[in-house]
Amino acid sequence: MANDRLYRFWADLDEALITGKPQNEIKHSGKPIFEELYADPNKLKQFINAMSGISTGNFIALAQKFDFSRYKTLCDIGGAAGVLSVQVARHHENIKCTSLDLPPVAPVANEYIAKHGLSNRVKTGNVDFFKDEFPKADVITMGMILHDWDLPNKMMLIQKAYNALPEGGAFIVIESLIDDDRRKNAFGLMMSLNMLIEFGVAFDYTGADFAKWTKEVGFSRVEVIALAGASSAAVAYK
């Protein structure tokens, strides 16, 4: 995906910085990135596989480092191939997981889940998180989802996660969190530039940003767990 899509778009980074506008498919066709991707099964599968490749190590680390023992259900919003749900279910027999995404993603996710022999404990479902409320679950996760949007949409997604959780529930985002001083995590800063190129108004953020936003909607406590490489899990507890 980096060769086929992103390399050409990054050539227009200077224009993105000057204008604040995305430099991807929407610049040439007028169609937003996800509309383009979801309209072409081959492009969609390439995108999902790329996201799975980037994220699998982080999801394994999350399953190993976060204490899931007190929880019974997990719902992964924007779950793509279902990798996060599969890794949590593999490591924690007490958890039943649901991976939610738009309808065209389900065949890819179901194939991945079946390949790992977890169809009995990991289910798929459909969600349009701009229109739908999230289903109730003890844990709500988002892997590289929150950074795709501007602040009002970030806050909307955080509010929906809060509404879906019980007292004591956990909202977990997995991102290339930028360090609070914005000096050390160069990969996180580069990812934020990538969000500019892809969406214009989207951006990556710090753990302090996440703590501020989640506490504004009612979460009581936040922690950051280092995962693989430059990525972390930010956890907000209700």
Burial string for 60-86 (b: 16+ CB within 10 Å, else e) reads: bbbbeebebeebebbbbbbbbbbbbbb
Number of H helices, E strands in the chain: 10, 7
Q: CA end-to-end span of the chain, whole Å?
A: 37
Distance CA 223, CA 233 (A): 8
Integer Cα distance of 200 and 193 in angstroms:
9
CA distance 47 to 78: 13
Of the residues 28, 91, 92, 147, only one is catalytic, namely: 147
**3-class secondary-structure state, position 196:** helix
Q: What is the C-alpha separation between 13 and 196, in angstroms, rounded? A: 9
**42: number of CA atoms within 13 Å, CB side?**
1
Instruction: Specify whether 147 is catalytic.
Output: yes
Tell me the catalytic residues.
147
